[in-house]
Amino acid sequence: MSDRVAIVTGGARGIGAATARKLAEDGMAVAVVDLDEGSCAETVKAIEAAGGKAIAVGADVSKAEQVTAAVERVAAELGPPTVLVNNAGVLRDNLLFKMTDDDWETVMAVHLRGAFLFSRAVQKHMVDAGFGRIVSMSSTSALGNRGQANYATAKAGLQGLTKTLAIELGKFGVTANAVAPGFIMTDMTQSTAKRVGVDWDAFVKNAVSQIPVGRGGRPEDVANTVSFLVSEGAGFVSGQVIYVAGGPRA
């Protein structure tokens, strides 16, 4: 994969940062994309310190013109991108009767519109190369979760987008899959604990008690799964949703 160029959105921290580092470890040049280009510096620095190649790119994934500019910059500086990880995401949790229009629209714009815009922008490079890998970050919340009508809907929508991309782009050598993490210990998860007023240690203990493998997930657990899905060896895996949740989900 040393000649591949990958784009990882939401790559400044958490799952995105771990994924960017892993893909660089696999030999890819990586564009680390986030809303604030400066916030990507730590991820880029870690990749370069390990001998990899990376650039930071600032872009609002929900803005078509910024997505187009970001992909053009990546192609110019690193080469045509043939691996895309749609990881950018935000939370605006609330019960339905308290959820505002902005809560709904912001989550849809970042998760769903962002994945659509980036997928549309990179597919030409993938088709031209006869090779492409698109992985979108869904969630176990796609199965439904209290206080997350917006997030659950967006994450379920990503699964539908993934399956459609797999059908449309398969004949061009492009695969599309989704990864659906369960309880992963990140800053975003900590913010959820804070929002519901639960001590972090107690929050983790409760979550782990329901996970068959008996531990919380780490960003690296998700990154390792993405690494396989974007590899040469995963060319016959497409249109799938892989739950990285420490146990079965249905």
Residue 63 DSSP code: -
Cα of 30 vs its chain's centroid, Å: 14
For the chain, which residues score pLDDT lower than 50?
none
Would you state the pLDDT for residue 191? 83
Q: Tell me if 250 is assigned to some domain.
A: no
Give me the phi and psi of 248, to 5 degrees please: -75, 140
Q: Can you give the residue range of the structural domain that contains 147?
A: 5-244
Would you state the pLDDT for residue 1? 66
**Is there a contact between 250 and 45 (Cβ–Cβ < 8 Å)?**
no
Rounded alpha-carbon distances, angstroms, from residue 116 to 62, 161, 207:
9, 8, 32
What's the burial of 78, exposed, middle or buried (CB within 10 Å: 0-12/13-18/19+)? buried
Point out which residues pair with 55 in neighbouring strands.
Answer: 31
Rounded alpha-carbon distances, angstroms, from residue 29 to 1, 3, 122:
9, 8, 15
CA angle 96, 85, 19 (to 5 degrees): 100
Q: Is the pTM of this model over 0.95?
A: yes
Q: Tell me if 21 is assigned to some domain.
A: yes
Per-residue pLDDT of 122-179, as tens digits, reads 999 999 999 999 999 999 999 999 999 999 999 999 999 999 999 999 999 999 999 9
Q: How many CB atoms lie within 10 A of CB 235?
A: 12
Q: Give the span between the Cα atoms of 18 and 174, in whole angstroms.
A: 23
CA angle 12, 13, 16 (to 5 degrees): 80
Q: Give the span between the Cα atoms of 76 and 62, in whole angstroms.
A: 22
Type of residue numbered 108: M
Torsion over CA: 154, 155, 159, 161 (sign): positive
Residue 154 DSSP code: H
Point out which residues pair with 85 in neighbouring strands.
Answer: 8, 135
Q: Tell me if 249 is assigned to some domain.
A: no
Q: Tell me if 220 is assigned to some domain.
A: yes
Would you state the pLDDT for residue 250? 60
Q: Tell me if 95 is assigned to some domain.
A: yes
Would you state the pLDDT for residue 77? 98
* Tally of domains within the chain: 1
Instruction: Judge whether 243 counts as a catalytic residue.
Output: no
Within the chain, residue ranges assigned H as helices are: 14-25, 41-49, 64-77, 101-107, 114-129, 149-169, 187-195, 200-208, 219-229
CATH number of the CATH domain containing 89 = 3.40.50.720
Task: Please identify which of the residues 104, 116, 151, 183 carries the catalytic annotation.
Answer: 151
